[in-house]
Amino acid sequence: MIKVLIIEDEIPARKKLKRFLDELDTAIQVIAEIDTVEAAVGFLTNSTVDLIFSDIELLDGNAFEIYNKISITCPIIFTTAYDQFWMKAFESNGIEYLLKPFSKERFLKAWNKFLLFRNSNPEENKLLINLTKLMEHNFADKSYKKRFTVNTYQKIYFIEIEDITFFEANEGVIFAFDTSGKKHLLNESTLKEIEAQLDPADFFRINRSELIGKKHLEKIERYTKNTLAIKMKGYEKYLKTSQNSTSSFREWIE
C-alpha cells in the first residue's frame, strides 16, 4: 500500500489528483488532504508517507516553508500554476514539477518516475535526482510574452513588457501601469493568467492584486514587521507586500 499526502488548497485540484490516483492499477491510500502550511507542518511532524503531492502557493503561505521546517525523506511531486519555483522544487526532494493544468499523460509520467525512485536504492536515487534537474532545465528556455494588446473603443494598441511597471487586479479587471503612471485595461482575466506569461526573474506577485516589474522598482522601505512598501517608477503611491510574500520577495529581489 502506497501512502500519499496531498497538500493543495484548491478543491478541484485535489479532486483531479484523487481521480488520477484512483485510476491507477496500484494500491494507494490518501492519508490526508491539507491546505495550509501550518497544518502540513503539524501532520508531517508526527507522520510519514511514501509520496507527497504538493501545491506551492497555499492559503497561509509558501509550501517551501514546510520543507524548511520539517525534514522530508519521501519524494515530492510539485503541482502548481507557476513555473518560477521549479529550481527550488528540486532542492526540496522534488522529483517532478507539474504545471497546472496538467494532463493525465503528464501525471502518469510523474507517477512512473516516483515508481522508479521507489524501486531504486539510495545511490541510484541520487543519480536520478541529478538527471531530473538536468532534464527540467527546459523551464529556463521558456519563451515569455513581449507585449500586451490593449483594446479601446477608438483603437487597438500595444504596450511593451519593458514599459510596464506593474499589473493590478481591481474588482475582476486587470490593468497595466506604464512608466508615466498611466494605466491600461488588458484583456486578460486574472493576474495568475498574466503571471504565467512573464519571466519570473523580471516580475513578482507581491500580494493578491499586484504584480511588479523589477526593472522599474525605485525604492523599498519597511512598512510593518512582516511587510514592505515599494515605490514604482511613475507611480506616487507605495505598493505593499503581503505577509506571505515578503520572504520570497526578499529572495527574488536579491
Q: Which pLDDT belongs to residue 134?
A: 45
Taking the complete model, does pTM exceed 0.75, yes or no?
Answer: no
Q: At residue 179, does pLDDT exceed 70?
A: yes
Structural class in CATH, domain 2-141? alpha beta
Whether 176 and 186 have beta carbons less than 8 Å apart is answered as yes
- What is the spatial distance between Cα 237 and Cα 229, in angstroms, rounded to a whole number? 9
Nearest CA to 106 out of 66, 75, 78, 140 is that of 78
Q: Per-residue pLDDT for 140 more than 70?
A: no
Give the mean pLDDT of the chain.
85
Residues ≥6 apart with Cβ < 8 Å to 135: none
Q: How far apart are CA 177 and CA 199, in angstroms?
A: 17
What pLDDT score was predicted for residue 142? 57
pLDDT tens digits along 76-126? 999 988 766 666 666 677 888 888 888 899 999 999 988 888 876 655 555
What local confidence, expressed as pLDDT, does residue 132 receive? 53
Compare 132 and 62 and report the one with higher pLDDT. Answer: 62
Q: Which residues of 110-136 are buried (b: 16+ CB within 10 A; e: fewer)?
A: bbebbeebeeeeeeeeeebbeebeeeb
Q: Using one digit for the tens of pLDDT, what is the confidence trace for 220-236?
A: 999 998 899 999 999 99
SS3 content of the chain, % helix, strand, coil (to 5): 35, 30, 35
Give the pLDDT mean for 195-210: 89
Average pLDDT (3-29) is 93
**Residue 126 has what pLDDT?**
52
Question: What pLDDT is recorded for position 122?
Answer: 55
- Quickly count: other Cβ atoms within 10 Å of residue 29's Cβ: 11
Residue 138 pLDDT greater than 90, yes or no: no
Structure confidence at residue 240 (pLDDT): 95
What SS3 class is residue 55? coil
Tell me which residue of 192, 165, 185 sits closest to 177, measured CA to CA.
Answer: 165
Round to whole Å and give the CA distance between 11 and 130.
Answer: 33
Q: What are the tens digits of pLDDT across the range 38-48?
A: 999 999 999 99
* Confidence label for 145 from pLDDT (cuts 50, 70 and 90): confident
CATH code of domain 147-253: 2.40.50.1020
Q: How many CB atoms lie within 10 A of CB 15?
A: 12
Task: With both helix axes pointing from N to C terminus, report the angle between 122-135 and 104-118 in degrees, rounded to the nearest 10.
Answer: 150
| Backbone phi, psi, residue 172, to 5° | 85, 5
Q: Confidence band (pLDDT; 50, 70, 90) for 130?
A: low
The set of long-range contacts for 150-154, using a CB threshold of 8 Å and a minimum separation of 24, is: 150/176, 150/184, 150/185, 150/186, 150/187, 151/185, 151/187, 152/185
Q: Report domain extents, the chain.
A: 2-141, 147-253
Q: Closest Cα to residue 167, out of 222, 208, 220? A: 208
Average pLDDT over residues 160-188: 91
Asked whether the predicted pLDDT for residue 171 surpasses 60, the reply is yes
Q: Stretch 194-214: mean pLDDT, rounded?
A: 90
d(CA 6, CA 82): 18
Mean pLDDT to the nearest integer, 133-140: 48
Question: Is 60 exceeded by the pLDDT of residue 17?
Answer: yes
